Amino acid sequence: MSYISTCCVCGGRGIVTVQSPYIRCAHCSGTGAIKRLTCTACMGKGVQPSAAISSQVCSVCRGSGDDLSASAMYCLRCHGSGVVSVKIMNVE
């Protein structure tokens, strides 16, 4: 009787995909934006006063305090993600 199993890492394909490590973008300091704009609805606080409760999360910026509608201000190096990939090279 022979026992055949497939590799649990590659599933028998023989190829393993390894993602490059990511570091914080130095151009935007990891924010994903070139210039951060303050949310005008909550004045950067992230919460708005409410009649039912004392305060609630700002519906415009979702609690971040930043103006998320300024899509033209995203960082061009990391494309707004805040991280960039790093290629590791082994030198012998």
Residue 87 within a domain: yes
pTM summary value: 0.43
- At residue 33, the pLDDT reads 78
- At 21 the three-state DSSP class reads coil
Residue 23 within a domain: yes
Length of the chain counted residue by residue: 92
Number of folded domains that form the chain = 2
Distance CA 92, CA 89 (A): 10
The answer on 66 and 53 residing in a single domain is yes
**Strand pairing partners for 66?**
38
Q: What tens-digit pLDDT sequence spans the chain (92 residues)?
A: 445 555 665 666 766 555 668 888 898 888 787 777 888 889 888 888 877 777 788 888 888 887 766 555 778 888 888 888 887 766 66
Q: How many other CB atoms are there within 10 angstroms of residue 45's CB atom?
A: 15
Write out the two tokens for 17.
Answer: 């995909």
Write out the two tokens for 59.
Answer: 């519906």
- At residue 52, the pLDDT reads 72
What is the residue range of 40's domain?
36-71
Residue 2 within a domain: no
Give the pairing of strands 83-85 and 47-49.
unpaired
The answer on 67 and 40 residing in a single domain is yes
